[in-house]
Amino acid sequence: MLQILDRIQYPSQIADLTLEERVTLAAEIRERIIGVICKTGGHLASSLGVVELTIALLTIYDPENDKIVWDVGHQTYPWKLLTGRRELFHTIRQTGGLSGFPRRSESKYDTFGTGHSSTSISAALGFAAARDLSGRTERVVAVIGDGSITAGLALEGINNVGALQTDVTIILNDNEMSISKNVGALSKHLNKLLTDPTYNKFKDGVWKALGKLPSLGDRMRIAAHEVSSAIKKTIVTPASIFEEFGVTYFGPIPGHDLAALTGVMQRVKNIPGPVLVHVITKKGKGYSPAEIQPVSHHGISGAEIKHPGVTFTKAFSEALLDVAEKDPTVVAITAAMPDGTGLTEFAKKYPLRFFDVGIAEQHAVTFAAGLAFGGTKPVVAVYSSFMQRCYDQVIHDVALQNAPVLFAMDRAGVVGADGPTHHGIFDIPMFLSIPQLCLAAPRDCTVLKKLVSSVLSDLSEPTGIRYPRGKEPELRFPSPDSLPKGTGQVVRKGDDVLLVAAGSMVSTAVHAAELLEQRGISVMVYDPIWLKPAPVEELRKLASSRLPVTLEEGSICGGFGQFLASSLPECSTLCLGIPDEFVPHGSTSELFADLGLDPTGVAASIEKHVKAIHEAS
């Protein structure tokens, strides 16, 4: 039992705590987060960095009425603990448990659902504009990180904030980190503000006000008054880019000093028009392993059982290094995710051929098109779900102009604990619906490596390769040496059903085929390798004497099954995949079972289909 945290039933209780109690509360929140997340896994470092900020927000603002909009949302664990979800906190990211991100359906205090970054300023401005139209007076606050504010969407939001000039507060939580070290000119500008003498003057003023007082108890009580006058004396805004956008800038403010933070936020609350408060925090604050290694502690995995085997990310990384060594025109691009996408080694080895563009997926794609026309072979390494940001860039800048770019789309399919914002289930419909794009789906790391190597040996048209999160399946089959577009491979023979399984589903398909064999249904499993151009003619021949069924780890609507079925109108094709609904968070095995996409579920669907066809004939 934690003395203060476990007493909080309503967020409004926080404003009634003394400063000293709030300082204790901050320590208790850290203790709870570290205790739970080290067991369950989750986004640790960012949440530890905003403990004081969260307490200050709940001290100054009224969450029953005011709108606090969190960006990305991976840092909202303290918020969840203080807004009525403390008792469920141990269920975070697990099947049926709390989401790892804000969700409007989870709590009335989650004003705006997130997972993808850089949405908070636009959403907050929307809340503010609606407030103004209705004549209400609630305060609206966006909390955004220094990484997330570099994205185009956030900058579009600030541009509009500057134009509308309404009351909205942007809290810029600057820990100088994205997942990796933050990059870009804006990051340099923020750093310049941080080293501005004002900041040090402010820190010294507050420190002196606190330091000269005798005991902790007295010190904290009196500090609140001393601090607010220190703030008044010392806050002089250095020249910031935000002022040029018509947004009043305050800062930088030390973000782990509750007295200082609360004092500034109280003062800023009543300033009319758009205001930005630049708060300096430390990622991983209070947990030394995370403070020392914030990158590896951005998201940690819990005490889960580790399976042997190679991850698709590692295989991609190795294949790319291999090709890059022989071909100096190969360049790699990431949108702020060098580690997650497997580009760290490439960046070390070929710093001039590596581009971290910040959280800027749209820019990454158009930049790649330019790089391609300039004579290089660009590889955009990106998570499938973040590719959703780039639909127009892929159509307008890449496909329409036939720019030879390779999209290496990691985390394609069901990702598990991160949930619906992160499942990569829309890339197949996206790629298949755009002319002049090719798309491949490797079933294991060997096929992935061969695809990377063969596509880059002759990169003449835009091409995507999608592969899942985690390790390759235990079940593997020999693959052909060359993988020309439009050719696939029979991986299991059978006479009654033609089960065409895309990439990550091949292994499931073979297991399902074995179950069906025991029930008297003989299943051929076919891996198309290329979803576009698909091996349609070969599939037409195979389907002439078998019932075609497709299986994919992606949305059925507009997916590979429907695409193939439209090419085989003479057949009655059963399409298995993710139905027209958002998939929740949870363990992947439970999610697959719920979706009917584990071997048992797939076998059951096929058996039912076969029976129905026989009964109808």
* Residues near ligand TPP, by CB under 6 A: 46, 49, 72, 74-75, 116-117, 145-148, 175, 177-179, 283, 335-337, 359, 361, 386, 389
User: What is the closest distance, in whole angstroms, from the C-beta atom of residue 267 to ligand TPP in the complex?
Assistant: 25
Q: Which is nearer to ligand TPP, 383 or 560 (CB)?
A: 383
Q: Which one from 67, 389, 471, 546 is the annotated catalytic residue?
A: 389
Of 52 and 226, which CB lies nearer to ligand TPP in the complex structure?
A: 52
- What DSSP string runs through 402-455? T---EEEEES-B--STT-TTT-B-SHHHHHHTSTT-EEE--SSHHHHHHHHHHH
Compare residues 143 and 455 and give the one whose CB is closer to ligand TPP: 143
Name the closest residue to ligand TPP (Cβ). 145
389 is catalytic: yes
Q: How far is the CB of 45 from ligand TPP (least distance, A)?
A: 7
What is the smallest separation between the CB atom of 415 and ligand TPP, expressed in angstroms? 12
Q: Closer to ligand TPP by CB, 79 or 592: give it.
A: 79
Give the long-range contacts of residues 225-229, CB within 8 A, separation 24 or more: 227/259, 227/260, 227/263, 228/263, 228/266, 228/267
Question: How many of the other CB atoms lie within 10 Å of CB of 518?
Answer: 8
Give yes or no: 361 in active site.
Answer: yes
Q: Could you write out the DSSP letters of every residue in 294-337?
A: TTTTSSEE-SPPPPPS-BHHHHHHHHHHHHHHH-TTEEEEESS-
Helix (H) or strand (E) holding 192, with range, is: helix 185-194
Min dist. Cβ of residue 509 to ligand TPP (A)? 31
Burial class (CB within 10 angstroms; exposed 0-12, middle 13-18, buried 19+) of 487:
middle
Specify the residue, 199 or 386, whose C-beta has the smaller distance to ligand TPP: 386
User: Between 144 and 574, whose beta carbon lies closer to ligand TPP?
Assistant: 144
Residue 528 beta carbon to ligand TPP: minimum distance, rounded to whole angstroms: 29
Minimum separation from the CB atom of position 377 to ligand TPP (A): 24
Residues 6+ positions from 556 with CB-CB distance below 8 Å = 562, 575, 576, 577, 578, 579, 580
- Residue 175 CB, shortest distance to ligand TPP, in Å, is 5
HSE, CB side, 13 Å, CA atoms: give it for residue 486. Answer: 5
Residue type, 147: G
57-60, Cβ contacts within 8 angstroms, sequence gap of 24 or more: 57/141, 57/143, 57/171, 57/265, 58/11, 58/14, 58/15, 58/82, 58/83, 59/14, 59/15, 59/17, 59/22, 59/262, 59/265, 60/15, 60/262, 60/265, 60/266, 60/269
Shortest gap between Cβ of 191 and ligand TPP (angstroms)?
13
Known catalytic residue at 283: yes
Q: Which residue has the tokens 């360049």?
A: 331
Q: Are 349 and 446 in contact (CB under 8 A)?
A: no
Return d(Cα 39, Cα 121) in angstroms, integer: 33
Task: Assign 3-state DSSP to the chain and report helix, strand, coil percentages, each to 5.
Answer: 45, 15, 40
Cα dist from 526 to 395, 428, 534, 537, whole Å? 30, 18, 12, 13
Q: Which is nearer to ligand TPP, 117 or 555 (CB)?
A: 117
40 or 120, CB closer to ligand TPP?
120
Single out the catalytic residue among 361, 472, 552, 553.
361
Residues annotated catalytic, as ranges? 283, 361, 389
